[in-house]
Amino acid sequence: MRHEVHLTAEARAAFRNFSAACVGTGRMGLALQEEYQRQLQEVQKLCGFRFIRGHGLFCDDMGIYQHWTDPQGVEHEGFCFTYLDRVVDAYLRCGIRPYLELGFMPGALAKEPQTLFYYQAHTVPPKDEGAWIRLVQATLRHLKERYGEDEVSGWPCEIWNEPNLAGFWFQADKPGYLRLYEITAKAVKEILPRMQVGGPAVCGGDSTPGWIRDFLAFCEEKELPLDFVSRHAYMAHMPTHTGRFIYHTMCEVDETIAEMRGTREIIDSFPRWKSLPMHVTEFNSSYNPRCPVHDTLYNAALMAHLLSRFGEVAEVYSYWTFGDVFEETGVPCSLFHGGFGMMADGCVPKPTLWAFSFFNNLRGECAHRDDSCLVMRRPDGSWEGIAWNLSDEAMTLDLSFPGQGEYVLQTRTVDEHHANPLRCWLDMGQPANPTEEELAFLRGAAQPLCATRHFDAEDGIAAELSLGRFAVVHFTLRPVRTEPEDGYDPSMYL
């Protein structure tokens, strides 16, 4: 399959790139872990995300809500920010800021006994709304005092997670969620009037349009603060199971974009909410942390395509999740296990990490965009682009650029044989707990192939890129700053 892209000096294409806006993480308490922080630092070096969003701010392992009875039988309430500060300090050290998600419920405030996940999140309303508001406000007041009002006001704040699922919100009770939103959004704005608040953080699926509509109508009617609308986007269809693993087929990127556009249109149908920012606070291929797709090259190509389009419909989209320190279904038992992470434990990059790294570092303005290629023009006369191959066969990309003189094409290739550590790990017999020596080899196998080509152009540069199935390639084409030292010519040894 050949694909031709012809760039001219005047070429322009629409492209909004918010790929670096936010990234997901399991739950806040995991951010205390050393492995978590190490992975986040590595991811940040390559990707530079601005915000990080995860569950569990108010889960018991964070220890924020304190309730005890003294020897005299008197009950006491208190707030403990030891771990919250430690997590936020770690985030800031990694050059990332929290995107707050207010939830779940502290055990002591839970109205019902329902819990979710290995880590036993209480996914129910508060038994005492006043206590919930005190908890929210004490937390925000503390953050404001410690990190400064200007800083904290810039952190987005979402209320709860996926209330349209009964597992995440008792009986998926819509009026209950709207009530929670009402009291919480107001509570937030009392402490931090400039903080951006939003919801309803629904997961997608059939109930989503109704939830979005009712949520917007409710906010309009009650004149509630609302700075963005949030929802999730997963591409998974038709699960099959083997052992403890699940296998989904994935929908087309077009479908996902169409689904998002549907939500966008609902928002815009409310005159009051027209053009309100839309945040996709979670997205991925499969929504299951034991689906092997996340470890694959295919996932990287799929995400590359999605990232080339997501800006058409949303202002924030947050890949769920940056790393494999994650415990919803228990402690991962094996290096590769279908976890959401862009990076496997032991700091082994998965192919998807490179897709984000390539998109997050794009500079310049868009000159061309199609379903397998994106090209940017930089002010200094150089070009930069990303290509991906989601088709079933190998693809040859014929790129032509204007220009004359010496140019260098630098490519970084992620394909079956490069930056694909899963393949090596399968060959190695799937060692659950690799030794440091094995990990070093896998990290070596997880690097893109860096290659160059030199052009001495009379009139235009014609560069051919070969992309194997599911490959993702980053390239730059730069005029050569020629400064060779007189006489250096190793060609007799080459």
**Residues annotated catalytic, as ranges:** 162, 282
Query: Binding of a copy of itself at residue 486 (CB under 8 A)?
Result: yes
Site for a copy of itself in 182-241 (CB under 8 A): 241
Minimum gap (Å) between residue 370 Cβ and a copy of itself: 24
Alpha-carbon distance of 402 to 162, in angstroms, equals 49
Nearer to a copy of itself, 371 or 406 (CB): 406
Q: Which residue has the tokens 């989209």?
A: 317
Q: How many residues bind a copy of itself (CB under 8 A)?
A: 91
**Residues 6+ away with beta carbon under 8 Å from 148:** none
Site for a copy of itself in 343-372 (CB under 8 A): 345
Alpha-carbon distance of 141 to 173, in angstroms, equals 29
Alpha-carbon distance of 329 to 323, in angstroms, equals 15
Nearer to a copy of itself, 260 or 477 (CB): 477
Token code pair at residue 250: 């994935």
Query: Binding of a copy of itself at residue 484 (CB under 8 A)?
Result: yes
Site for a copy of itself in 116-145 (CB under 8 A): 142
Query: Binding of a copy of itself at residue 2 (CB under 8 A)?
Result: no
Site for a copy of itself in 404-443 (CB under 8 A): 406, 408, 410, 412, 417-418, 422-424, 426-433, 435-436, 441-442
Query: Binding of a copy of itself at residue 293 (CB under 8 A)?
Result: yes
Alpha-carbon distance of 177 to 126, in angstroms, equals 11
Query: Binding of a copy of itself at residue 14 (CB under 8 A)?
Result: no
114-143: buried (b, 16+ CB within 10 Å) or exposed (e) per residue? bbbbebebbbbbbeebebbbbbbbbbbebb
Query: Binding of a copy of itself at residue 95 (CB under 8 A)?
Result: no
Nearer to a copy of itself, 9 or 333 (CB): 333
Alpha-carbon distance of 17 to 15, in angstroms, equals 6
Minimum gap (Å) between residue 390 Cβ and a copy of itself: 12
Query: Binding of a copy of itself at residue 444 (CB under 8 A)?
Result: yes
Query: Binding of a copy of itself at residue 34 (CB under 8 A)?
Result: yes
Q: Which of 334, 347, 378, 400 binds a copy of itself (CB under 8 A)?
A: 334
Using DSSP bridges, classify how beta strands 405-414 and 373-377 pair: parallel, antiparallel or unpaired.
Answer: unpaired
Q: Angle, nearest 10°, between helix axes 208-222 and 253-269? A: 20
Minimum gap (Å) between residue 293 Cβ and a copy of itself: 5
Query: Binding of a copy of itself at residue 493 (CB under 8 A)?
Result: yes
Nearer to a copy of itself, 259 or 295 (CB): 295
Using DSSP bridges, classify how beta strands 157-159 and 97-102 pair: parallel, antiparallel or unpaired.
Answer: parallel
Query: Binding of a copy of itself at residue 379 (CB under 8 A)?
Result: no
Residues 328, 117 contacting (CB under 8 angstroms): yes
Residues 374, 399 contacting (CB under 8 angstroms): no
Nearer to a copy of itself, 256 or 299 (CB): 299
Query: Binding of a copy of itself at residue 63 (CB under 8 A)?
Result: yes
Query: Binding of a copy of itself at residue 337 (CB under 8 A)?
Result: yes
Q: Which of 158, 295, 384, 415 binds a copy of itself (CB under 8 A)?
A: 295
* Residue 238 region by backbone torsions, left for phi larger than 0, else alpha for psi between -120 and 50, else beta: left
**Residues 6+ away with beta carbon under 8 Å from 254:** none
